[in-house]
């Protein structure tokens, strides 16, 4: 493999370098996505709902602050605005916050997917440039050397395609797994937030002040 990489010419070596960078980036993004999608980061501790049902709003908010998961951050914000917003406004706020979290994670997953799409293209580019070099070498070769040069050059060129596919297959697979996992995590958070919204009573509307229409006689 050492000979294949360093005997592939300048362009071939550059493509191998790009494949190495792509594979390193893919591994980094896989680790990052696995970390940010871990179950603990989206956990919704069971202690929250009993506090809400008991009407202990301050304790519930303090509990959310002590457990800064995605679910608890959204729940804490909803509790903080419980007296200033109605249920519809709180629902809209929860949707916006959850959507922001999802889009932030999707950026990592989309970048991982990009690595999976780039890798086979780089491999194909390496094969094409390798084939060009192979046929250029045939022009200077004599007799039986032509077949040997052609076989060696083509085999070296195809290595880049194989390397690109080896990078692309697991990378794309992980990106699909992470995308499905993100959808599952978002559904779990949404269900918990719906329970929080249902547990919070509507703020009382201010009572209208009526003025007497009777005239005071002196």
pLDDT band of 216, cuts 50, 70, 90: very low
Q: How far apart are CA 166 and CA 115, in angstroms?
A: 12
**pLDDT tens digits, 90-147:** 888 889 999 999 999 999 999 999 999 999 999 888 888 877 777 776 666 666 666 6
pLDDT at 208: 45
Q: Residue 87 belongs to what H/E stretch?
A: helix 87-140
Q: Where are the domains of the chain?
A: 9-199
The answer to whether the CB of 28 falls within 8 A of the CB of 174 is: no
Rg (CA), the chain: 31
pTM, two decimal places: 0.78
pLDDT at 86: 80
Distance of CA 134 to the CA centre of its chain: 41
**pLDDT tens digits, 35-84:** 999 888 888 777 888 888 888 888 888 888 888 888 889 888 888 887 77
pLDDT band of 3, cuts 50, 70, 90: low
More confident residue, 116 or 9: 116
Q: How far apart are CA 63 and CA 157, in angstroms?
A: 60
pLDDT at 28: 96
**pLDDT tens digits, 145-202:** 666 667 767 777 788 889 999 999 999 999 999 999 999 999 989 988 888 888 877 6
């Amino acid at each position: 493999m050492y000979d294949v990489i360093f005997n592939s010419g300048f362009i071939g070596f550059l493509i191998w370098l790009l494949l190495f960078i792509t594979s390193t980036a893919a591994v980094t993004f896989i680790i990052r996505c696995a970390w940010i999608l871990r179950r603990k980061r989206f956990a919704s501790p069971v202690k929250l709902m009993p506090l809400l049902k008991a009407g202990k709003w301050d304790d519930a908010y303090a509990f959310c602050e002590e457990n800064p998961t995605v679910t608890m951050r959204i729940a804490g914000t909803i509790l903080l605005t419980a007296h200033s917003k109605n249920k519809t406004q709180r629902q809209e706020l929860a949707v916006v916050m959850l959507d922001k979290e999802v889009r932030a994670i999707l950026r990592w997953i989309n970048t991982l997917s990009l690595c999976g799409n780039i890798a086979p293209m780089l491999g194909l580019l390496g094969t094409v440039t390798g084939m060009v070099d192979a046929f250029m070498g045939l022009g200077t070769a004599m007799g039986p050397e032509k077949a040997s040069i052609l076989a060696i050059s083509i085999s070296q060129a195809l290595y880049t395609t194989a390397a690109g596919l080896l990078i692309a297959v697991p990378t794309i697979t992980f990106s699909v797994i992470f995308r499905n996992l993100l959808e599952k995590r978002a559904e779990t958070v949404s269900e918990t937030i719906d329970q929080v919204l249902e547990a919070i009573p509507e703020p009382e509307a201010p009572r209208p002040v009526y003025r007497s229409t009777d005239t005071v006689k002196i």
